[in-house]
Amino acid sequence: MECFEVTGGTALTGRVRVTGAKNSALKLMAAALLAAGRTTIDEVPDILDVAIMSEVLRRLGCDVTYERHAVGGGGRLVVDVPDRPGTETDYDLVRRMRASISVLGPLVARCGSARVALPGGDAIGSRGLDMHISGLERLGATIESEHGFLVATAPRLEGTSIWLDFPSVGATENLVMAAVLAEGTTVIDNAAREPEIVDLCAMLTAMGAQIDGAGTSTITVDGVPGLQPVTYTTVPDRIVAGTWAIGAVMTRGDVVIERAVADHLTVALAKLSDAGAQVEPLPDGLRVAMDGRPRGVDVVTLPYPGFPTDLQPMAVALAAVSTGTALITENVFEGRFMFVNELVRLGASVRTDGHHAVVRGRERLSSAPVLATDIRAGAGLVLAGLVSDGVTEVQDVHHVDRGYPDFVEQLRGLGARIERVQRPD
């Protein structure tokens, strides 16, 4: 088992560079399936999930190569897509990474059929697929569930109007990727507005798709007969940037986050200002500095442009060492407070009730062995370890490696005392 040993007590200071967003790069890789030939995607983070998505594409007959850049944790990925890709994605891959289901839309659109394993539950909630399925059905696909697979068939897709009950990121992406090759016009209402959706639509547009309204709640897609491969650069990762920003505030440090886009973190940065931090947008990044102890601030997670659910564990960790009491409300994933029990092991005063957590701030936390339950919970626990007395051992860090390239190296570059160690299982 791999663990992080985090020694508390040092402030994060210096410069760190963020590469492309995991939650965009994985979808851009799926979008490559929409055109035969060689698509190049730059600033793809060197993380396990990208390796898993590469394997998904290889099993569909693509040739995938990855060349890492010298600095920044990103690299250039080349996907060579055959004229007739395969149509099946197995449970062993979907189980390891839920985002594998984003090949569903492109495969149905391009090949007229797809068999993709059902992902099942995961550590942050039940995560339904109903909107992916009903949207594809409205576009003309027939979808059945058999032996743990979603089986979709659609000799042709036809443009339609789709209303999403919730602005789901994954459903919006799958439906846009199906609609780009449908006949006629598709209008998706109550669509997700995340920067990663805008990024996907920008790449699809560069490939020849006709898309209007990306970044708003109504996306209109005029289907085209075919798309061409392109060269495209992934949008910077706002969740990684937000993690370093919150870490700077918690440790009372001073960090320049190169390539961070302040406009993609408006609510989160406003919360950090409310906590007393100095937040300064720079031409190519962002500076966050903190003097003294932060003030507790209430946080409510919501679809973009609301406070991101992926930064909620870091917000709870911040409140745990702030003055006063903060109310954190989780509205996106019902299981996302599971990690709170681990934070309590570090001496945090947190009570949860349904989708609310009441956090009473303490001056410092107290080190203990804790378990990373998912990517973001793991990152939140490491930040908590940085403000704990003694050495905190964060276990099961393979979760963190799924979302943060060079996590230990980047933190060490900012002065943190953190080591990756092997422990017997």
Q: Which residue matches tokens 């979302």?
A: 403
Q: In angstroms, what is the minimal distance from the CB of 310 to ligand UD1?
A: 5
Per the annotation, the verdict on 222 as an active-site residue is no
CA distance 268 to 308: 8
Give the binding-site size for ligand UD1 (rule: CB under 6 A): 20
**Crossing angle of helices 22-31 and 104-111, rounded to 10°:** 10
Residue 15 is assigned to a ligand binding site: no
- Give the x/- contact pattern for ligand UD1 in 49-78, rule: CB under 6 A: ------------------------------
Nearest CA among 143, 150, 176, 148 for reference residue 162: 176
Backbone dihedral region of 300: left (phi > 0), alpha (psi from -120 to 50 degrees) or beta?
A: beta
C-alpha 25/C-alpha 28 separation (Å) is: 5
127 binds ligand UD1 (CB under 6 A): yes
6, exposed or middle or buried, with CB in 10 Å at 0-12, 13-18, 19+?
Answer: buried
Helix/strand/coil percentages in the chain, nearest 5: 35, 30, 35
Q: Is 47 in the site for ligand UD1 (CB under 6 A)?
A: no
Check the annotation: does 98 bind a ligand.
Answer: yes
The runs of H, that is alpha helices, within 39-168 are: 48-59, 91-96, 104-111, 130-138
Q: Report the residue number, 133 or 269, with the smaller CB distance to ligand UD1.
A: 133
Under the binding rule (CB under 6 A), the answer on residue 214 touching ligand UD1 is no
310 near ligand UD1 (CB under 6 A): yes
Helices (H), 298-422: 312-320, 340-345, 375-386, 398-401, 407-413
CB of 120 to ligand UD1, least distance (A): 13
Tokens in use for 253?
A: 């440090």
143 part of the interface to ligand UD1, by CB under 6 A? no
219 scored as a contact of ligand UD1 (CB under 6 A): no
Number of other CB atoms surrounding residue 118 within 10 Å: 14
Look up residue 100 and give its two tokens: 């594998």
Near ligand UD1 by CB under 6 A: residue from 6, 52, 154, 171: 171
Q: Per CB under 6 A, does 401 bind ligand UD1?
A: no
In the complex, minimum distance from the CB of residue 268 to ligand UD1, in angstroms, rounded to a whole number = 13
Residue number with CB closer to ligand UD1 (141 or 169): 169
Q: Is 178 in the site for ligand UD1 (CB under 6 A)?
A: no
Shortest-Cβ-distance residue relative to ligand UD1:
170
- What does the per-residue mask of binding to ligand UD1 show for 5-44, with x meaning CB under 6 A? ------------------x--x------------------
What is the x/- site pattern for ligand UD1, positions 86-125, by CB under 6 A? -------------x-------------------------x
Q: Say if CB 122 and CB 98 are below 8 A apart.
A: yes
Apex 222 CA angle, 227 and 163, nearest 5: 120
251 binds ligand UD1 (CB under 6 A): no
CB–CB of 143/151 below 8 Å?
A: yes
Amino acid 102 reads: S
| Residue of 2, 7, 65 whose CA lies nearest to 32 | 65
Joined together, the tokens standing for residue 407 give: 């996590």
Residues 80 and 38 sit within 8 Å (Cβ to Cβ): yes
Is 96 marked within a binding site?
A: no
Nearer to ligand UD1, 129 or 387 (CB): 129
Q: Nearer to ligand UD1 by C-beta: 11 or 57?
A: 57
Q: Is 22 annotated as a binding residue?
A: yes
Report the DSSP pairing between strands 142-146 and 88-89. unpaired
Among residues 333, 339, 404, 407, the one that binds ligand UD1 under rule CB under 6 A? 333
When asked if residue 131 is in the footprint of ligand UD1 (CB under 6 A), the reply is yes
| Cβ(421)–Cβ(2) below 8 Å | yes
Residue 359 marked ligand-binding: no
Given 122, 189, 222, 298, which residue is catalytic? 122
Q: How many beta carbons lie within 10 A of that of residue 189, not counting itself?
A: 14
Does 168 participate in binding ligand UD1 (rule CB under 6 A)? yes
Nearer to ligand UD1, 240 or 381 (CB): 240
- Under the binding rule (CB under 6 A), the answer on residue 377 touching ligand UD1 is no
Please list the active-site residues.
122
Binding-site residue ranges for phosphoenolpyruvate: 22-23
Binding site for ligand UD1 (CB under 6 A): 23, 26, 99, 125-132, 166, 168-171, 309-310, 332-333
